[in-house]
Structure 1
Amino acid sequence: MTDLTRRAFGVLLAGTAAAAMIPASARAEAMLSSLELLAPSSPGSGYDQLARAVQGVLQSKGLVSAVEVVNVAGGGGTVGLAQFVTTRPRKPTALIVGFALVGGVLSTQSAVTLKDVTPIARLMGDVDAIVVPASSDIKTLADLVAKLKENPGAVSWAGGSIGGVDHVTAGLFAKAAGVDPTAINYVVHAGGGEVLASVLGGHATVGISGYEEFRAQVDSGDLRALAVSGETRIEGVDVPTFKESGIDLAVQNWRGIVANPRMKDADRDALTAAIAEMVKSPEWAEALKTRGWIDSYQPADEFGAFLTEETTRIGQALKDAGVL
């Protein structure tokens, strides 16, 4: 190699190294150093589970340096929503949202709505399950329907917030079974953890919540799952759907993430980019598989349009279920 060739090669290597450093530097500047992720419900709930799954993947992939999950329960998520929108945050802040929060806003006529936040992405979907204690004389969904028809008020339902997917599904289930949905005895709980405790403690006839919130107790034999609300069975789970059990009904929950309206443009863009990278990662795919969640990712623009359409659809479902 001649001296001229060596010098040219050295310049090429230096240029290549410098070029490689530019995007790395840009990524470092764009990456969020911290994020507060608010779950508008109690620990153990579906919102909380999603928040902690997002926290784990963002941190393990180095997409956000530090993610703190904060729980604010109450009002079907509207307490957390109001706090999220009206409080000036100390650092970049995001909120987990879902079907239940849309229903909570409608049923409580909340002054703060999802029009007051900035959509980032829809992330996943899941389905509800109806469960009973292992000692219950209700062995099948047909047994539950029979009890409802005999005396709907005698069957107590432990479920999530007013207007949430659990409440709507219970009402639509009663209607599909030929029972007045306004006659069911639905007992509101702050989240899936409280629903689980109520059913295990024998304080409710049945429990209704996301299947994952019951999975460990179903696997251990402490609870019996009668059916799930999706169009199809959960992969690897031997529990029939409502339709398989004679009830012509399918309901799917969904959850996503939104940004605080006061978030700086650069921070919002960094969060959007981090979430877009997260959902493509093997770690996120594993999180979905482990929890039995359905991949329902939508980027910001699509998610914003979906929220507008979903507000109308859920409003009608609340009327059909006798909630509004």
Structure 2
Amino acid sequence: MRNFVLAGLFAGAMALPAAADYTIIAPANPGGGWDQTARTMQTVMQEEGISRSAQVQNVPGAGGTIGLAQFASQNRGNPDALIVGGYVMVGAILTNNSPVSLADVTPIARLTGEYEAIVVPAASPIESIDGLIEQLKADPGSVSWAGGSAGGTDHIAVGLIAKAAGVDPTTINYIAYSGGGEALAAILGNQVTAGISSLGEFEAQIQAGTLRLLATSAPEPIEGVDATTLKEAGLDVVLENWRMVAAAPDLTDEQKAKISADIEAMVTSENWQKQLADKGWADTYLAGAEFDAQLESDIAATEAVLRDIGLVK
């Protein structure tokens, strides 16, 4: 009888689905929002037993489109490959006329959202968002903005700020960097007038006093953040940078369902929720048909905004 019990337990254990060895592509340099998202996924998936050995690979360039193209071509049918993307990638695909789009992979879920932050070096003579806008109105080219890739959330935000201030968006002096780490170095090195990125990417430097936070793109003041909103400053701009995860193309329904279940297990874990709270990321989890519909709507809306501010013809 004992042998039957042991055999049954062994057979049951063997029947359990094995945890995946996921490789997560962060299509940007280390230090930025996609890299942070991928490494947070890595940590939580391993600690929760969702993935035995999750690995992160950085493939930077062109607003994530280089990483996306490589991911799509090299991982067809691979259920262990994931890529982080989001609003920035949507804009970069349109701006760069990328031959590869999110239609060439398998979108799984939206994960997080974060508002934009406008900062200047601590030693800057610009003390407020009003001062920055005053200079922008007087001489748009004299205000250099450091942000992420061309056509991404940061670039769109600057275009919207200029338009709301009555400045021709096509005259802005926007300097695109391939990752948050590079942009941050330029801002801290006083190589630009101001910087713009997701709030979490600047948080440590703001708290350390090396950056001055002028405003956020939130619809209302963010709890615990000592800064006005663009709307409070008289600029009708609200913008949230969302991030998502996608899987490889040409997956079976069963493979997609397994990945979706793993991502749901990750985002519903206490570990993930703690990571969101620590990083100041909003939980915007959305999956399945609802996410597919929202993604289609977001792509159309992003194209409209890019046309409106002159970044796409």
TM-score normalised over the length of structure 2 = 0.93
The answer as to 2:240 corresponding to 1:286 is no
Deviation at 1:28, TM superposition (A): 3.2
Is 2:79–2:256's contact at 8 Å kept on the other side of the alignment?
no
Deviation at 1:267, TM superposition (A): 3.9
Counterpart of 1:257?
245
Aligned match for 1:98, one of 78, 86, 109: 86
Counterpart of 2:283?
295
Deviation at 1:91, TM superposition (A): 6.9
- Distance verdict in 2 for CA 1:158–1:18, change over 3 Å: same
> SS where residue 214 of structure 1 aligns?
helix
295-304 or 186-195, which deviates more: 295-304
Aligned match for 1:308, one of 289, 293, 296: 296
- Distance verdict in 2 for CA 1:20–1:178, change over 3 Å: farther
What are the Cα deviations for residues 259-314 of structure 1, in whole angstroms up to 9, with x where unaligned? 01144554433221111111111111101101111110011322222221111000
Counterpart of 2:60?
73
Q: 1:275 is aligned with what amino acid?
A: I
Is 1:94–1:257's contact at 8 Å kept on the other side of the alignment?
yes
The 4+ residue runs of structure 1 with deviation greater than 6 A are none
Q: 1:117 is aligned with what amino acid?
A: V
TM-score normalised over the length of structure 1 = 0.90
Using the alignment, how far apart are the partners of 2:16 and 2:101 within structure 1?
A: 33
71-80 or 86-95, which deviates more: 86-95
Using the alignment, how far apart are the partners of 2:266 and 2:15 within structure 1?
A: 18
The answer as to 2:209 corresponding to 1:221 is yes
Q: 2:46 is aligned with what amino acid?
A: Q
- Distance verdict in 2 for CA 1:40–1:254, change over 3 Å: same
> SS where residue 139 of structure 1 aligns?
coil
239-248 or 201-210, which deviates more: 239-248
Is 1:92–1:263's contact at 8 Å kept on the other side of the alignment?
no
Counterpart of 1:49?
36
Cα RMSD for the two superposed structures: 2.1
What pairs with 1:136-215 in structure 2 (closer than 5 Å)?
136-215=124-203
The answer as to 2:45 corresponding to 1:58 is yes
What are the Cα deviations for residues 239-271 of structure 1, in whole angstroms up to 9, with x where unaligned? 221112221210011011010114455443322
> SS where residue 178 of structure 1 aligns?
coil
> SS where residue 127 of structure 1 aligns?
strand
> SS where residue 248 of structure 1 aligns?
coil
What are the Cα deviations for residues 123-161 of structure 1, in whole angstroms up to 9, with x where unaligned? 010011000001111100100110001100000000111
Using the alignment, how far apart are the partners of 2:214 and 2:51 within structure 1?
A: 40
Structure with max Cα Rg: 1
Using the alignment, how far apart are the partners of 1:48 and 1:268 within structure 2?
A: 23
Using the alignment, how far apart are the partners of 1:26 and 1:230 within structure 2?
A: 48
Using the alignment, how far apart are the partners of 2:16 and 2:99 within structure 1?
A: 38
Counterpart of 2:72?
85
Q: 2:17 is aligned with what amino acid?
A: A
Using the alignment, how far apart are the partners of 1:98 and 1:260 within structure 2?
A: 16
Q: What are the ranges of 5 or more consecutive residues in structure 1 without an aligned counterpart?
A: 1-6
> SS where residue 22 of structure 2 aligns?
strand
Using the alignment, how far apart are the partners of 2:31 and 2:279 within structure 1?
A: 13
Counterpart of 1:3?
none
Residue-pair matches, total: 309
What are the Cα deviations for residues 189-226 of structure 1, in whole angstroms up to 9, with x where unaligned? 01111110000001100000111111111101110000
Matched-pair identity in %: 45
Using the alignment, how far apart are the partners of 2:292 and 2:94 within structure 1?
A: 17
> SS where residue 249 of structure 1 aligns?
coil
The answer as to 2:246 corresponding to 1:268 is no
- Distance verdict in 2 for CA 1:144–1:118, change over 3 Å: same
Using the alignment, how far apart are the partners of 1:20 and 1:124 within structure 2?
A: 39
Aligned match for 1:38, one of 25, 33, 42: 25
Q: 1:316 is aligned with what amino acid?
A: A
Is 2:79–2:248's contact at 8 Å kept on the other side of the alignment?
no
